[in-house]
Chains A and B, each alone.
Chain A
Amino acid sequence: MTVQIRSSIRFLLNHRLVELSAVSAVQTLLDFLRLDRNLRGTKEGCAEGDCGACTVLVGRLLEGRLKYESVNACIRFVGSLDGCHVVTVDSLAQPGGPLHPVQQAMVETHASQCGFCTPGFVMSLYGLWMENPKPSVAEIEKALQGNLCRCTGYAAIIRAAEAVSVIGDLDRDPLIAERATIIQKLESLKDGKRVEIGEGSERFLLPASVDDLAEIYVAEPKARIVAGSTDVGLWVTKFMRDIAPVVHLSHLDELRRIVVDETGITFGAGVSYTESFPLISKHFPQLTELWNRIGGQQVRNMGTIGGNIANGSPIGDTPPALIALGASVVLRLGKKRRTVLLEDFFIEYGKQDRQPGEFVEAVKIPFLPENALYAVYKITKRLDEDISAVCGAFRLTVDGAGTVTDAVIAYGGMAGTPKRASHAESALTGTAWTEASTEAAMEALAQDYTPLTDWRASADYRLLVAKNLLRRFYLETKGDEPVRLDRKQAV
C-alpha cells in the first residue's frame, strides 16, 4: 500500500483555518498561541499540565461526532492538532461585545481576584457547560480538578459555574449553533494522508492509519510515540529532552475503538480516560473513583490508558488496578500481534516487554468472575490531581465455605514497577477470609516490598498504609460499617 504524504498540518484556530508546514515536533500549543499568534489570553502557570492556566478547548471528531474537551495547551504539541478545532478564551467575546455566559457568571459572582487563573477556569467551565448544562457541585469540582486558583478559595467560582445556565442559553452558543458547519469544515480536513514535517530534532509524523503507524515504527524504532502527551509533554517542557522524530497517534480513530464482548472490554491504545470512563464505571464500578482521581479533567481528556501502561512508571495508576483484573496488552510489531499479560509487561524499573518497533495497540480487560471481590485504593497527599504515594488493587475469590481460592494483590508506589504481592497472596490463598488471615497477609507485605522514601511519602508510611489498605479491603468486604471517608458533595 502506498500512502500519500502531506507536509503540513491543518486545524481551525477559533474562527480561522490554520495551515502550518514549518512547525517543530516540540512546539507546544501554548507557545504557539502566545508567541506565534499573539493570543495572550491563555496563560502559563506551570508548563506541566497541573495548574490549568493554559486551558483551551480542543474539538475532535470521532465517527462524525464532534466533542470539545478542555486540554492543557502547555503540554499539547501543535503537531497533534491536525483536523481539530482549537478554541481559546480570546474568542469567547468580541471586543466591546457582550461577555459569554460563563464569563458573565464569573464576573457577577466575584470569581476572579488576581485573574491569572481565570481564563483557564472560564475554558474548563465552558467545556463543562457544553457537555452538562446543569452540573451538580460534584460534577463542577470534577471538571475543575485540573485548575488551580490561589486567590479565591474556589467558593465564588463554584457559584459562577452554577449560575452559567441561569445567565445563558446553551442552544445559542456559537459552538452548539454552528456545530454542523464546523463538523463539515473539520471533515474536509481529513484526507487520509500521512503527514510528515520537519527534519532532525523538529521532525514529526502523523500516520495515515494504524497499519501505517506499524510500518513507520518498524522503519524508525527510535521514534517517540506520542499519544496524549501528558507524560511526554513534560519531557520537553521540563527536561528539555529531544524527542524527535515524533509519531503521533491521537488522531487515529482506529486506536480509539472500544469493543465490548462477553469476556471483557478491549480499549484501543488511544482511548482517553474520559472516553473510557462510561464503560469503566459501568462494568467496573470499583474503578470509578480511581478514574475520577487520575490527573485533572484536562489530563483525563488527553491522557490514554495505553500511554499510562507504555510509560511503565511504578506510580502509574491503571497498572495495579488492571493487573489485579488480569488484563493484558496487545502489542504490535509490523503486521505481527502478540498478547502479553499486563503483569508480565513490566520487567523492571524503566524496562518493559516491548521490542524495538513494537507498540501497544490495545488493552484487554476481562470482566470479573461473578463471585470475585475487587477494590482499588489510591493514596495521595491531596485528594484530587495528585500522583499516588501508594495505589493498591485487590481481587479475591472466596468460595461458599469462606475460603480464599484465588488472590491477586498488586501495588503501585511500592517497588520499581507495579508489582504483585506474592507473599501476601499466598498468605491468603487457601485460608478462610478472616481478620486473622488478613493480618497475616498484611505482615507478609513486608516481604513483598521495600518501598522508598521520597517527597510523596516515607517508606514507613508506604508500608503501613499498604498494610492498612488490605485491612480496609477486608473490612469493606465484610460490610459492617463505613471504612472509607464518604466523599461528601459540597453544598
Chain B
Amino acid sequence: MNVMQPIERIRGGVHENERHESGHKHVTGTAEYIDDIPEPAGTLHAYLGLSQRAHAQILSIDFEPVLSAPGVLGILTADDITGENDVSPAHKHDDPVFATDKVEFHGQPIFAVIAETRDEARRAAARVRIDYQDLPHVTDVLEAAAANYPLVIDPLKLERGDIAAGFAKAKNILEGEMRIGGQDHFYLEGHISFAIPGEDDEILLYSSTQHPSETQHMVGQVLGVASNAVTINVRRMGGAFGGKETQANLFAAVAALAARKYRRAVKIRPDRDDDMTATGKRHDFHVGYKVGFDDDGRIEAVDATFSARCGFSADLSGPVTDRALFHADNCYFYPHVRLRSRPLKTNTVSNTAFRGFGGPQGMVGGERMIEEVAYALGKDPLEIRKLNFYGGGGRNLTPYHQTVEDNIIGRIIDELETSCDYAARREAVLAFNRKSQIIKRGIALTPVKFGISFTKTEYNQAGALVHVYADGSIHLNHGGTEMGQGLYTKVAQVVADEFQVDLDRIKVTATTTGKVPNTSATAASSGSDLNGMAAANAAQQIKARLVTFAAERWGVSEKDVAFEPNTIRIGAERMAFSDFIKIAYGSRIQLSAAGYYKTPKIHWNRSEGRGRPFFYYAYGASCSEVSIDTLTGEYQVDRTDVLHDVGKSLNPALDIGQVEGAFVQGMGWLTTEELWWDAKGRLRTHAPSTYKIPLASDRPRIFNVKLAEWSVNREETIRRSKAVGEPPFMLPISVLEAISMAAASVAEYRIAPRLDAPATPERVLLAIERMRRAARNG
C-alpha cells in the first residue's frame, strides 16, 4: 500500500459553489435538448389539430384537405388509440388524448397529422374542416359558479377552532374578495416528444417531462402495453416549472401512437402558440374572505373560500387547490379558521402544476387579509404581520393541525428589517409621497413559510443507481429530472462527498425509467431532498461493502477504514481511490447499488383535513420598494432585499440562482403576466408577443439576495439543506403590496387598495381612480 499525504478536501463536495454540470455546454450550444438529437433516417413528424371552439359538439370532420396536403402520411384520431383514450393523472378518466364527439376548450387536441416534415404536418393540420355545434361556454371562475358548473374533484375543507365563536369575539370584521390571475410557464423549450419504435411492443421515448414514470405509465395506458415495454429518457429540459409534470404525457402518447402505427421514429413539437393554447397553466383564483380581528390587529377568525379556474378536467387541480389552503395561513396563527376550496370546472385548458402548486395563490390571499386589517386600523402591515406570527403558547397549530416546530420567521424578519433599513425607508417613502404629486412610492416587507413534501404521501420516495467502475470512475443516475435547477449538480456533489472523491470523477447520466423505476415527479421542490438521499444511500451501500472488504483484507477494524479526499485510509496507511477500487473489483466486491429513500414522519388524512403533510418548512422574506406613476399606472421596482432560508445549502451559488430566478418569475406573475380570454373563450395571450414575462430591465433596480447562512434544517434532510425550488417564488408578494401601498397614498392610506393580481399598469391605474373616487365621496 502507498503511503500518501492526505489532501485537505475534495473539489466539488457539498456546500460548495460548484458550477452547473452543463454550464459549459449551455454556453456553447452543445447541451443537447430533445429537438437537437440527430433524427434517424425516415423520422416523421406529428402535429396536433386543435379545437377552434370553447365548448361544442363536433358534428363532422372533413379530413380530406389534410390528407391531400403535401408530405402527409395520415392522421391519428381517437380511433387509432389501441389502449385507453385517457391521460388523466388523477385517474378520473376525464383527460382524453383526442376529443371525440365533444370539445371542452378552445385548443383541445382533436387529431394529429403525420407528415414527412414538421412544417408539412403543421400546414396540413390547419386545413381541416370541422363542423361544430356550439354549446354555452364559461371561462371565468365566478361565472362557472353562477352557471352551476361542477367541481372537477372533491373540494377540501380545513377547519380548526370554533369559527362562529371566533367571529363573535372579534371586535372588527371585514369581508372582501380578490382575484389572482394564472400564469403560463413559458419554459423556453416548449413541449416535445420523440418516439422510436423497438421490437415487439417496445417503444423508446425522449420526452421533455418532469415525471418520466408517469409518462411511461400513460404511454403504456394509451398504447395498451405494459410499462415494461416503454422507456422514457430525459437528459435535460429547457425549463419546466411544473408545466411538464403532467402536460408532457399527451405529446408522448401521440408520438408513441404514431411511431407504432408507422413503425418509424416520430417527433412532435407544437409551435409556441399551440403549446400555450393547448397546455395547462397556473390556476387563476377567486378568494372570498372574512377576517375577524381585535383593535391591535390580532386575528381572531378567518373564513375563506378559494375558488379556482381548473379548466375542463381534474389534472392536478385537487392537490393544487389543497396546497392553496395549506398556505393561506402563510406565517400566521389563526385561532379559529375555516378554509374551503372550490375547484371549478371551466371551458378552458386544464390547469396544472406551476412552481408553488397553488401555494402562492393561497399565500397571496392570506397576505391580502393582513393588508385589509392594516389599512382598517391605519397601521403598517408589517406590524400586523409580527403580531400574528406563529409562536408563543398555543399559537403553533396550523389549520391542518400540523404543529409548526421549526419556526425561524421571527429571526429572518428581524435581520431583514435591520439590514434593509425598513423603518427609515418607510418613513422616507411616506415623506416622499406627501410632497410628490404624480409619482408615488410604496414599500412592503413580506414573509414566506412554505411546506415541503408532496401532499400525496406515496410520492415522497425516490431511487438512485450508483456504479463505481473498475477504473474508479463513478456513474450516477437517479429518478430526478434536470430542468435547470441544478439537481444533477447537487446530487453529484452529494455522491462526491460520500465517496470523498473530486466531483469530476462522477458522471450523471440522463434520467431514464430503465435505470430507476417508479419515480416521482421532480416537483414540489423535492428533487434534491429525495434524490440526494437516495443517491447517498446507494453510495453508502457500496461504501459499507468496501469498508468490510478493506477491514478483512488488511486486517484492521472497520472503524479504521475511512474515505478521505480521493484516498482510502486503512489503518495508518492511505491508498488512491482508484487503486483501491481496482483491488476491490479484483476481489469480487459488488460495486453497484440501487439506493432508496422515503421521507419519514409525514402523514395526511384528507377527509379529516388533519395530519402532518409537511416534513419541514422553508422560510424567507423580502422587502420591496417601488415607484408608480399615478397618471398611467406604470411602475418600477426600485429595490428589493431578500433573506431566504435554504437550511445548510448544498450549493449556495445554485441556490442564489434559484432565489433570484423565482423572485423574478413570481414578480412577473403578480405584475405583467396576464392571461386574457376573449368572449369566444379563446386565450389571446398565447405567445411572448402578447404574454409578457419579465425582462432583464424589469428586475429590481437594486437587488440584494442573501441566504440565511445560519439556518440548519432541524430535520435530517440531505446534509441539513432545505428545498429551494418553490419557496422563493412567493417572496415578490412584497412587490404587489408595495405597489398597493403606493396606490393607497392617493387616498391617504385610509382605504385598502384591494389591488388584484396581476397588477398590470391598467389595474394599478384603475385602482387609483377607484380610491380617488372613494376618497372624494368620503
Contacts and interface: CB of A to CB of B under 8 A. Distances in A.
Interface of A: 31, 34, 38, 40-48, 50-51, 53, 88-90, 92-93, 99, 102-104, 106-108, 110, 112-119, 122, 140-142, 144-145, 147-158, 237-238, 240, 377, 379-387, 389, 454-458, 460-461, 464-465, 468-469, 471-472, 475, 481-491
Majority-rule SS of A interface residues: loop
Interface string B607-647: 00000000000000000000111011111101000000000
B456 interface: no
A256 to B, nearest CB: 27
A85 B672 CA distance: 37
B437 to A, nearest CB: 6
A118 B26 contact: yes
B701 A488 contact: yes
A88 B761 CA distance: 38
Contacts of A389: 762
A485 B629 contact: yes
A122 B27 contact: yes
A110 B27 CA distance: 11
A122 B28 CA distance: 8
Given A117-B188, A153-B660, A485-B627, A48 B689 contact: yes
B433 to A, nearest CB: 13
Residue in A153, A156, A490 whose Cβ sees the most chain B Cβ within 10 Å:
A153
24 contacts: A34-B35, A40-B32, A90-B29, A112-B20, A113-B657, A114-B484, A116-B189, A116-B484, A122-B27, A141-B695, A150-B239, A150-B693, A153-B660, A154-B694, A155-B705, A156-B657, A238-B273, A379-B634, A380-B761, A381-B762, A383-B698, A461-B633, A485-B629, A488-B636
Contacts of A48: 272, 687-689
A381 B761 contact: yes
B33 to A, nearest CB: 6
B418 interface: no
Contacts of B38: 38
A461 B28 contact: no
A480 to B, nearest CB: 8
B662 interface: yes
A295 to B, nearest CB: 10
What band does the interface of chain B fall in when counting residues whose beta carbon is under 8 Å from A? Answer: 35 or more
Nearest to A46: B272
Given A113-B657, A380-B761, 6 more contacts: A110-B657, A116-B239, A158-B696, A238-B273, A464-B766, A481-B436
B28 A483 contact: no
A307 to B, nearest CB: 16
A251 to B, nearest CB: 26
B653 interface: yes
A380 to B, nearest CB: 8
B241 interface: yes
Nearest to B483: A114
Interface string B155-194: 0000000000000000000000000000001111110000
Interface string B682-696: 001101111011111
A40 B20 contact: no
Residue in B36, B632, B674, B760 whose Cβ sees the most chain A Cβ within 10 Å:
B632
Nearest to A88: B29
A78 to B, nearest CB: 14
Given A107-B23, A114-B483, A482 B664 contact: no
A153 B33 contact: no
Contacts of B703: 155, 490
Contacts of A110: 17, 19-20, 23, 653-654, 656-657
B29 A41 contact: yes
Contact of B189 (A45, A484, A487): A45
Contacts of B629: 483-485
A43 B439 contact: no
Nearest to B276: A46
Residue in A383, A386, A389 whose Cβ sees the most chain B Cβ within 10 Å:
A383
Contact of B33 (A108, A116, A148, A455): A116
B692 A460 contact: no
Contact of B765 (A104, A140, A158, A464): A464
Contact of A99 (B24, B236, B674): B24
A148 B693 contact: yes
Interface in B722-778: 760-762, 765-766, 769
Given A150-B241, A153-B699, A155-B705, A483 B631 contact: yes
B636 A485 contact: yes
Given A107-B24, A115-B236, A485 B634 contact: yes
Contact of A482 (B17, B439, B769): B439
A47 B271 contact: yes
Residue in A238, A469, A486, A488 whose Cβ sees the most chain B Cβ within 10 Å:
A488
Closest 3 CB pairs of A and B: A41-B29, A114-B484, A116-B238
Nearest to A42: B29
Residue in A38, A113, A455, A489 whose Cβ sees the most chain B Cβ within 10 Å:
A113
